[in-house]
Structure 1
Amino acid sequence: MCGIAGIIGDYKNYDFNRMLWCQNHRGPDATQVFQDKDLAVLGHNRLAIIDLSFEANQPFLDGSSRYVIVFNGEIYNYIELKSELKSAYNFKTESDTEVLLAAYMVYGKECLHKLNGMFAFAIWDLQNQHLFAARDRFGVKPFFYTNVKGAFLFSSEIKAIHNSGTPKEPNQKVWINYFSSGSYGMPNETFWEEVHQLPPGHYLEYQGDTTSITKWYDFVLAVKNQPQINDYNQAKEHYKSLLLESIKLRFRADVPIGINISGGLDSSALLAFVNVYTSNSSQIEAFTFYTGNSDYDELPWVEDMIKHYPNPLHKVLLSSVEVPGLIEKISEHQDEPFGGIPTLAYAKLFECASKKGIKVLLDGQGMDEQLAGYDYYTNNVKSSIQGVTKSPFRPEILKEHLLIYTKTIVYPTPFDNAVQNLQYRDLFYTKIPRALRFNDRISMAFSTELREPFLDYKMVEFAFSLPIEYKINKNQSKKILRDILKDYVPDTLAYAPKRPLQTPQREWLGHELKGYVESHLFHIKSGPFKDWFCADAIDKVWNDYCNGDNESSFHIWQLVNFSVMMTPKEAYIS
């Protein structure tokens, strides 16, 4: 897990050192630069995970000195790929970076289909002056870019592009839709003008001032090509084998590995199978957060779950007093709006792990989307937020002339049933893109790598292809996982109801943090973006909230997050 950056074209007009400097938290182990005359410059911040030697540092140049790569992520099946490539390439390191470069040199663009991992990388061909960049299937790793003044700039974080000297202007249309409908933009968009992201499962080519983007991963076709298994027990065994293989691959590291857990089913499954896979599980430390509020904390369920295993548990407390400082810090790392106080609590897990010298953490993200785990899959509604009965958005706070930018987003519906189409939406447009973005930035803020075994593409494709009755049974979701897990944990864990990952955000915003919220609402109403908002409407929604209209606190969080992000600051460097 690292930070990458590059400029193709006349890079002397930009501050490339500052681009790398502001991403240093992504890779504090080594920072290096490669220059190709006046044609290109590539840089890399390394967080050393596999092959810790100096020889594996990046930018990495192949033996012929034709290709140079910068790579962020992990290729989990690099050992198998390396064995396949040995006859065609002379390896000099034990790194997955060199395997990735060799795969591109041997197979060209088709190498992408051979990769099992999370990745965003760029390869510069010195001979043909051609850039090839690609992003993994689900977009675990970020890739941002812009075309300005005859140059192509790319990076792992938006702040790096802005720190190069390019203008920083909000993308008003994306912000307006965020406030009006909760949209975080489409897969190619960001909240900043002229800064784009390469969509998941796409590759990019840049040559001679021309940029082309091509989709390389066809998820719908992959699902339709899955083997049709009509026997439930056979499907269960196959899914279990995929899960175990995914966890096995994600244990490939030359540094200590830990695990994040909550009290839910997915964490139970991950913890159980981590202990199935490894014989030294007592060295795999677990991390969970709590707030001291029994209405929200999952600590009792976590402690009930962890007692069945030898893993040491670190309980990380988040208090309301810490929240303002954490909001300021994490907002700088996020570069765009994020999910609120639960994200701050989650960030503390990575901070704790980092202080203990743990560089890799496993997490249970991705199971709900592939096995229909949210309540709205069974309630036959099109919501994207669990547990609310009315809209959590307040578009009336926006000035009327801006509402022309609001749009009803129509997501693709490539499947022949409503549940799969909702799952597809959540996987590629809403839930997963947001969670991956939030989590990449908070893990990297503390120089730790996050791995999501449940987002292995083989698992997701197979789970999507299963009959709905294998996923939902009598309104209980994730049936197949529960039935697999019951052989390893008590029924009270295997068949526990889904509990949303929560904090007392609603209460804190209206009570302990009331003064903090009001200071930011005042800043919005009097600051440089006051013309975007109706001050009276903001006052009304805040008064309503304080008087009990607080089923959801998301609209209050949106305003606070906006105010913090729009307050000018230097980029935060950890």
Structure 2
Amino acid sequence: MCGIIGNVNSVQGLRLDLLKHRGPDGEGIWNDGNLCQLGHTRLAIIDLDERAAQPMISRSGRFAITYNGEVYNYKELQQRFLPDFEFRTSSDTEVVLELWERMGTEAIKHLRGMFGFAIWDRRERELFLVRDRLGKKPLVYSHVGDTLSFASELNALEGLLPETPEIDPRAIDLFLAYQFIPAPLTIYRNCSKLPPAHFARFKDGRMEIERYWEIEFAPDYSMSEKGAEEQLEEMIRESVRLRLRSDVEVGILLSGGVDSSVVACIAAQECENRMRTFSIGFDYGKSELEYAEKVAEACGSNHLPRIFNEDLALSYWGRVVSAYGEPYGDSSAFPSFFVSETAASRVKVVLNGDGGDELMGGYGKYSPSLSRRMLTPVATAGHALGCALDDFSNRYFGSAKGAKLADRIASSLSPYMKVIRFNHFFSSQYLRQLYLGDVFAEVLGARSSYEKDLLRGMNLSGPLMCHLQRIDYSHYFSGDLLVKMDIAGMSNSLEVRSPLIDHKLFEFAAKLPPEFKIKNGETKYLLKKIAAKYMPREVIYRPKAGFSVPVSSWAGTVVGDSLRLAVNRQSHPMWNYINRSFVKTLLDDTAKTGKNGHRLWLLSILGNWLEMKKS
């Protein structure tokens, strides 16, 4: 796991210091004259020798690579395609590089893992950017004129640009709508995220982006429940086994939930040595620490529990807000930073349970009400109509009540709304009150445009649950969940591997009948049956707890105080976009009712991020 950075046709130097946290074990810069620069910061995991340092040049000298991530099946690829090649290293990087030499972009389909990398072709004078299928590893870029700049993180990309990039108000609105800024947008104009499962080719100042993988939902109703359970368990075991490949110790982030517990128990069986597990509990609300300790006992791990509280959240505030490079509002980022920092004090690599809910139907939003299911045949048209109604009401209805009514009607017209707008804290009814006039005019239609682009061209066939999972993979899953743990881990120089986020597993799960995922109201039905073989039933069959912080309770402390200070400062940069009087009204209303906690949380994140950028 590492940090990558580079540019083409640019005189800007590479700021490796901005990616040092992603790779504290080494760094390097390579250039092809004035044509291309590639930079790399290394977190040494496989082949710890200096010979595996990057950027790396192919044996022929034609290709150069800077690579972030892990291709877990590199040994199998080496044996299958390059059995007679004399490798200089035992790293997965060299396997990827030499495979590219022989196959070009066809090599991507053979890679199994998480990755974001750049390859420069010296002969053709073209650069390729590649991102893994599900979006575990980030890759951002800026294409202006005949210059291309790229990096693992937005903060590092910003350091490559000749001028301070301009903030995009549309991105602010998407953040306040969903709590994250979805691909391909970033907070800045002319800066983009390469979407998952895509590669880009840059040559002669032109950039072409192409999708190389698409998940296909095609439930196989001839599959028996027993056969599906056995195959799923073996595939999870294989995925865990692959992710234990490392030349350094591997630990486990054990939340106490079903997903990480399954990973932990199987990993303990596959690992020769006693594993370390890391858990955190909370001094508020729902804590799964007691269940994590039961699982740790079941798998015989060396367990390290910690407690997260409000004071810790305050101490992490500035670091977390800054780390994502743009406004990011998922409150579980804070405990994720804490557990990552705890684990990084002992190990450099961990496994976690991310992806189980998306893989096996762990959310209630995948099982909508009967009234919403009845709209399945017209779901896409209903969504488009709902978007149109949202935009019309905000453009022409002056009253908040009229916009609120239109918002409720629009949200009921399609079952897709429940997934896309699952975390919809500032729904469209707030737009006119929320923004200054000129900003309102610019953001109007931004959500509709993004959502329609999201659905356009998407293969939405089969049962409704398949539609909803497919949409979620491209929206919340890749835009929020995976972003959270990449930054939380790598900010602490910790590589986080997710056995349940394996494209082979996702392809298999897409063939399962929906009732193998949610049965008689029991979510993750088949995965829980597997879990029962490894751990006590009380760990498995209980209400879902989650990993977030009590945002509503903290509205008057962690977030409320900073917003009140901002409201009292007319020069605060947030008031270049947001209606100051509206925020004051929200604060006053919260003081009386205790409501609006999540809205204030997002506004506080936005305000703090803008102020950091101003300074």
Deviations 1:133-153 (A, max 9, x none): 211001111111112353211
Aligned to 1:339: 329
Aligned to 1:306: 296
Aligned to 2:602: 558
Aligned to 1:118: 114
Deviations 1:190-217 (A, max 9, x none): 1111111111001111111111111101
1:132-171 aligned within 5 A: 132-164=128-160, 165-171=162-168
| Matches of 2:368 and 2:588, distance apart in 1 | 32
User: Is 1:397 paired with 2:397?
Assistant: no
Of 151, 170, 175, the match for 2:172: 175
Gaps of 5+ in 2: 370-414
Deviations 1:11-55 (A, max 9, x none): 32x132x2x111111101111011111111111001111000000
Of 564, 579, 582, the match for 1:534: 579
Of 452, 467, 475, the match for 1:421: 467
Deviations 1:52-87 (A, max 9, x none): 000000000111111111100000000101112334
Shift of residue 362, structure 1, vs aligned partner: 0.9
CA contact (8 A) 2:174 2:182 kept: no
Of 361, 364, 367, the match for 2:353: 364
SS at match of 1:446: coil
Distance 1:183 1:329, change over 3 A: closer
Shift of residue 361, structure 1, vs aligned partner: 1.1
Distance 1:402 1:141, change over 3 A: same
Deviations 1:100-119 (A, max 9, x none): 01111122211111110101
CA contact (8 A) 1:331 1:337 kept: yes
Distance 1:129 1:432, change over 3 A: closer
Deviates more, 1:167-176 or 1:82-91: 82-91
Task: Tell me the TM-score normalized by structure 1.
Answer: 0.92
User: Is 1:510 paired with 2:501?
Assistant: no
Aligned to 2:245: 252
User: Is 1:480 paired with 2:526?
Assistant: yes
CA contact (8 A) 1:155 1:161 kept: yes
CA contact (8 A) 1:510 1:546 kept: yes
CA contact (8 A) 2:425 2:599 kept: no
Distance 1:146 1:387, change over 3 A: closer
CA contact (8 A) 1:287 1:315 kept: yes
Aligned to 2:362: 373
C-alpha RMSD of matched pairs (Å): 2.2
Letter in 1 for 2:4: I
CA contact (8 A) 2:145 2:205 kept: no
| Matches of 1:63 and 1:264, distance apart in 2 | 46
Distance 1:211 1:514, change over 3 A: closer
Deviates more, 1:502-511 or 1:364-373: 502-511
| Matches of 2:531 and 2:562, distance apart in 1 | 44
Gaps of 5+ in 1: none
Shift of residue 569, structure 1, vs aligned partner: 5.2
CA contact (8 A) 1:483 1:494 kept: no
Deviates more, 1:129-138 or 1:512-521: 512-521
Aligned to 1:285: 276
Letter in 1 for 2:592: N
Deviations 1:510-560 (A, max 9, x none): 24654234224445x54233142222221222222222343x632111111
Task: Tell me the TM-score normalized by structure 2.
Answer: 0.86
CA contact (8 A) 1:384 1:431 kept: no
Shift of residue 402, structure 1, vs aligned partner: 3.1
Aligned to 1:45: 41
Distance 1:15 1:570, change over 3 A: farther
Of 65, 69, 93, the match for 2:65: 69
Of 588, 604, 609, the match for 1:543: 588
1:85-124 aligned within 5 A: 85-87=81-83, 89-124=85-120
Shift of residue 385, structure 1, vs aligned partner: 8.9
CA contact (8 A) 2:265 2:295 kept: no
Q: How many residues align?
A: 556
Distance 1:435 1:470, change over 3 A: same
SS at match of 1:431: helix
CA contact (8 A) 2:573 2:611 kept: no
| Matches of 1:352 and 1:128, distance apart in 2 | 46
| Matches of 1:337 and 1:87, distance apart in 2 | 47
